[in-house]
Chains A and B, each alone.
Chain A
Amino acid sequence: MKIFITGGCGYVGYSLVKNLSQCDFVDSITIYDNLSRPSINFFFGQPNEGLANIRFIKGDLLDGYKIGRSLRGHDVVIHLAAKVSTPFSESNIHEFDQVNNWGTAVLSSEVERTPSVAHLIYLSSVSVYGNSNGIELNVDSAVAPQSAYGQSKLKGEKHIMRLANRLNVSVLRSANVFGFNPSIRLDSVVNRFMFDANYLGRIEVHGTGNQKRAFIYIQSLAEFIIYEIVKDGSGVRNLAQFNLSINDLVDEVKALYPATSIFRLDQHLSMRSVAVQIDKNKSEGEEFTRLLLSFKEHFKYNL
């Protein structure tokens, strides 16, 4: 099987490629990325032990010409490339639209013109639901994104779903991703709290802290995506393992770093919540604590 991954050098791409390259059904992986993020840790480390051939193409999601030529002969396309959400900032709304909406439109059109592609997988976000208003959402819940990021991801979903009568399409709505890998993002709240607690001795909480978030561990997300390839399915799925309020998260981090100071900013603000129905068999209460402990072991220094 020949797999094409957009945005494959990013945080999710790092774990996905590492896992995929060790799957015996994968012949080759083409990573298409414009290297817009400053981190290039994807390219360094121990030599890859996987069997699959890895190829890298530096290219932009908006470059339909280049994507079209690069896509030829691939069986599966995994679309990870995105302008990701930046908490408390909507400063460049057009960029979300440009990349997540129109970039996905470009990719969809090129996939449509590439007969070898049998399965298109899109990593969307639970942010398309907007506010869960105290309930746990499922894939049948109404979508009402509250942010420019969420709106752009929902528009991206429409471009992908348009192809559903031609090939298998999977829309995977991911929760907030956390956990260590060398391409880690620190704008994810769990990662930020852990980094700040370990190195700065303080974390910042915006709003009341009662807002809930759904979370998924980076390694689990990579495995879910691979499972989607293996079962060759179609449809919309939520990928989430844990629901925690920000205050719950503070308690978890405090348990690991008891001396951490908590700075509460804009406490008058009630922030929106996104909680998602979770298969309880797949996530246990202690599991989240165990994953944070494992995360902590990756810090080179404990200051």
Chain B
Amino acid sequence: MRWRMNMSNTQIKKEINVIKSDLELFRSTGKKLFVSSSFQTHSIPLLHILKCIYPSIPVYFIDTGFHFSETLSFRDEIVDLFRLNLEILTSPISKVHQKDSNGRFYFCSDSEYCCHINKILPLEPILKEKDVWITGVRSDQNFNRKTMKRIMPGVHNTLRYHPMLNWNSKMIWEYRDLYNLPPHPLESAGYLSVGCSPCTMSSFDDRSGRWSGQNKDECGLHVDLVKK
């Protein structure tokens, strides 16, 4: 198989063992862990690894209300397949109160604020309850993520744990291939990175379809919720 030329079983096992020992260390010290996931194609290997090591770990999905319906269906498919312990977070602000002075949703005029009220506000209470936040960010995704560390402080006295930081898109693809993990239904249409529908375009160039044309390549979860 092609993946064997690039990423051996041994390499994968080594990666998983490192994650396993990290999780054991966190848990042995009584830390409360959770993972957040946007349920994109490239999110699935981390969820697969975690469900093998720590099946009951809470998996938080931030339902911004602007997701593609395909993303929500894919989320449900993966939750059933992996038997995940899913928790859904929503903004405390109803959509009727999420309009700018012209009556349009904020994604039309202030996408930073839109992300803030739909992603950061729902997650913040969880950060106050938990100790370790696991996310699937990778350093090859953008400049901000290149500067991140595998374990680093987050806000509200949390630790941010980034087990996939040194993986790349090729490794993700190979892992999916190895375990025959399903793709997001929009991947074949060019949505390699899928966020909220209004701010995501089809693009076969990894994350370039996100907030395309704007000076923005992060939603804030991995900027505002990092301890400065």
A contact set with B: CB distance below 8 Å: 60, 62-66, 94-95, 98, 102-103, 105-106, 109, 155, 158-159, 161-162
Contacts and interface: CB of A to CB of B under 8 A. Distances in A.
Given A94-B104, A102-B105, A109-B63, A64 B73 contact: no
Interface stretch (B2-10, B64-72, B202-210): B64-72
B90 A109 contact: yes
DSSP class of A's interface residues: helix, strand, loop or mixed? helix
A159 B69 contact: yes
A66 B94 contact: yes
B108 interface: yes
A155 B66 CA distance: 12
Which among B63, B66, B94, B105 has the highest number of chain A CB atoms within 10 Å? B94
Contacts of A155: 69
Nearest to A101: B197
A60 B69 CA distance: 21
A71 to B, nearest CB: 14
Interface in B33-88: 63, 65-67, 69-70, 72-73
Contacts of B104: 94, 98
A63 B73 contact: no
Contacts of A60: 96
29 contacts: A62-B94, A62-B96, A63-B94, A63-B95, A63-B96, A63-B97, A64-B90, A64-B95, A66-B94, A94-B108, A95-B103, A98-B105, A102-B65, A102-B66, A102-B95, A103-B95, A105-B65, A105-B67, A105-B69, A106-B94, A109-B63, A109-B65, A109-B90, A158-B69, A159-B69, A161-B69, A162-B69, A162-B72, A162-B73
Contacts of A63: 94-97
A65 B93 CA distance: 8
What 8 pairs between A and B have smallest CB-CB spacing? Answer: A62-B95, A62-B96, A158-B69, A63-B96, A60-B96, A63-B94, A65-B94, A162-B69
Nearest to B71: A162
A155 B73 CA distance: 14
Contacts of B67: 105
Contacts of A162: 69, 72-73
B69 A106 contact: no
A60 B67 CA distance: 20
Contact of A64 (B66, B69, B94): B94
